[in-house]
């Protein structure tokens, strides 16, 4: 019997077998009845499940051998817009969702029920029959924001790799792709008003290999960028899969690539900004944006084009790791502090953030920033990505702000997955699959009336030591599967979670990842080609602090 109903990830809130337990057979006569509003889900089923099975899955109704897709007001009321019910009782398969998104998540569950070969791109001649367990499933997500941050600034990923990650997020019912598009090491988005951002800022002459203390260099130039049409394609592809793409444009730190392209953006009264190039190593860079009207107008130009590409209600502006040394030495910065009546350089950073908070709010968007935007006073409408631990998120929630929990000690997927010398470029704390599975996004310090401010959670994939898709796959999977269940499912307290059962379900999920071509870390450790012997990392010993 097809046992795919027992290895679903994320596991649904309610699942029962329809008596007597059996299998429903899909064949060339199986139809898809996509009711109004679900046509996109029907197209997705034909392009993925249809391609994998070889079944035509034609449009049709009035037959028992059919898959019915329906937006159901009752499901919306009872389970929310992303909730769904999947019922296979031998008289057709019904997927009812609270919205088209809910129907889509139900369709993702249906694909898992078909078995791992349903994740291939073409049918296998060895499989001629497709069956679905006769089940009744009722499911809905815990969090509205279930995200993954993909850093394409440190190492550029071609468009096809980003599209593949959109599919991987969708397969795990994650609905936010946060794209880190700019940093000291590269600017990755075409801005037509300021073409040197990609002509110059998208390319660096060489790259540090491993941690910044490593003596190794890759002497090849590295770079790349997405044209605006490339990015519109990514955004549209994600939208078909009910994923929101949130762009990040870093302000005012992590900006050397922009300053290399346009030196007037930097603190020209402190250093010779014309001597700066796109940074070729890692760490916190001292070269930050100057607090001038020129800089504000430049980034308003940038964000005007960003808003035209990304319909996301949220725009991320970074705000993290902004050293203040140049501002302390800059007469221009000190004059701005005096003019605005600011107390210090922390409040000058807050002035930057507040300016763009007002600018985005005036255009119907919401600003998101890393938790350093709390320093010097939080902008009125800002949402906080709490990365340095829980503390920033707790403070923001208590102040009435929305929070996305993504503490580095728990869900930074560049951190190593095991102790020992086999892990490639070992960075940070050991974060095993079980550690991620026991991550709890809502800290107990928050009172019940403030927990609703935690709108979601996010795993972050920083790519300083990940030079290509293969390395990103290794660091991300299988841990993103555990994170997806944390973000979707209503799990018990961390210590009460049944990791053994999750690990058993992962056996079936590894087969899905194999079918998708994901170069994940096997349970027994890295394969020979996944190791990076001799490349210096920065492992941190002991358990990570809860801060």
Catalytic residue positions, numbered: 183, 254, 321
> In whole angstroms, what is the distance from residue 304 CA to residue 298 CA?
10
What does the DSSP 8-state code read for residue 46?
A: I
**Torsions phi, psi of 510, nearest 5?**
-60, -35
Under DSSP, is residue 284 helix (H, G, I), strand (E, B) or coil? coil
* 8 A C-beta contact, residue 214 and residue 535: yes
**Torsions phi, psi of 280, nearest 5?**
-110, 5
Cβ-in-10-Å burial (0-12, 13-18, 19+) of 413 comes to buried
HEC string for 493-532: CHHHCCHHHHHHHHHHHHHHHHHHCCCCCCCCCCCHHHCC
> In whole angstroms, what is the distance from residue 201 CA to residue 225 CA?
9
Question: In Å, what is the CA distance from 59 to each residue of 29, 87, 130, 279, 300?
Answer: 10, 20, 19, 54, 47
* 8 A C-beta contact, residue 86 and residue 109: yes
**Torsions phi, psi of 318, nearest 5?**
70, -110
What does the DSSP 8-state code read for residue 28?
A: T
Question: In Å, what is the CA distance from 547 to each residue of 316, 369, 479, 544?
Answer: 23, 19, 22, 9
């Amino acid at each position: 019997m097809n046992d795919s109903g027992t290895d679903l990830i994320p596991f649904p809130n309610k699942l029962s077998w329809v008596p007597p337990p059996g299998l429903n057979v899909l064949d060339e006569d199986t139809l898809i009845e996509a009711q109004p509003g679900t046509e996109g889900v029907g197209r997705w089923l034909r392009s993925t499940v249809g391609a994998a099975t070889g079944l035509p899955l034609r449009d049709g109704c009035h037959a028992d051998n059919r898959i019915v897709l329906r937006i159901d007001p009752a499901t919306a009321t009872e389970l929310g817009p992303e909730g769904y019910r999947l019922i296979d009782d031998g008289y057709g398969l019904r997927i009812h969702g609270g919205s088209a998104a809910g129907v889509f998540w139900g369709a993702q569950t249906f694909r898992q029920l078909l078995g791992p070969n349903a994740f291939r791109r073409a049918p296998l001649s060895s499989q001629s029959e497709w069956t679905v367990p006769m089940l009744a499933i009722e499911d809905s997500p815990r969090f509205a924001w279930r995200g993954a941050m993909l850093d394409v600034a440190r190492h550029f990923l071609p468009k096809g790799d980003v599209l593949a990650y959109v599919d991987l997020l969708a397969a795990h019912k994650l609905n936010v792709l946060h794209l880190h598009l700019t940093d000291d090491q590269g600017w990755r988005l075409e801005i037509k008003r300021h073409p040197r951002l990609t002509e110059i800022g998208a390319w660096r002459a060489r790259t540090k290999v491993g941690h910044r203390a490593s003596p190794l260099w890759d002497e090849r130039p590295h770079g790349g960028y997405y044209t605006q049409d490339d990015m519109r394609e990514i955004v549209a592809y994600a939208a078909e899969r009910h994923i929101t793409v949130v762009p990040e444009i870093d302000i005012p730190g992590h900006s050397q690539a922009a300053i290399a392209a346009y030196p007037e953006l930097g603190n020209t009264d402190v250093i010779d900004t014309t001597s700066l190039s796109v940074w070729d190593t890692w760490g916190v860079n001292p070269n930050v944006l100057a607090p001038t009207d020129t800089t504000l107008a430049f980034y308003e130009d940038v964000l005007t084009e960003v808003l035209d590409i990304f319909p996301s209600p949220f725009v991320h502006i970074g705000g993290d790791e902004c050293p203040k040394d140049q501002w302390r030495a800059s007469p221009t910065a000190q004059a701005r502090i005096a003019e605005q009546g600011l107390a210090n350089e922390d409040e000058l950073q807050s002035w930057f953030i507040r300016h763009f908070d007002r600018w985005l709010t005036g255009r119907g968007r919401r600003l998101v920033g890393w938790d350093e935007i709390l320093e010097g006073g939080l902008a009125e409408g800002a949402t906080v990505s709490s990365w340095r631990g829980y503390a920033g998120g707790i403070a923001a929630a208590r102040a009435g702000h929305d929070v996305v929990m993504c503490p580095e000690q728990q869900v930074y997927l560049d951190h190593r997955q095991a102790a020992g010398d086999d892990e490639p470029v070992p960075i940070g704390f050991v974060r095993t699959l079980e550690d991620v599975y026991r991550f709890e996004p809502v800290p107990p310090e928050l009172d019940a009336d403030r927990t609703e401010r935690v709108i979601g959670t996010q795993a972050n994939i920083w790519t300083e030591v990940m030079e290509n898709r293969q390395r990103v796959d290794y660091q991300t999977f299988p841990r993103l599967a555990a994170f997806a269940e944390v973000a979707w499912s209503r799990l018990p307290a961390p210590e009460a979670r049944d990791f053994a059962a999750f690990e058993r379900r992962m056996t079936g999920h590894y087969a899905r990842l194999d079918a998708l071509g994901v170069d994940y870390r096997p349970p027994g450790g890295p394969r020979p080609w996944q190791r990076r012997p001799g490349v210096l990392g920065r492992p941190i010993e002991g358990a990570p602090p809860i801060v």
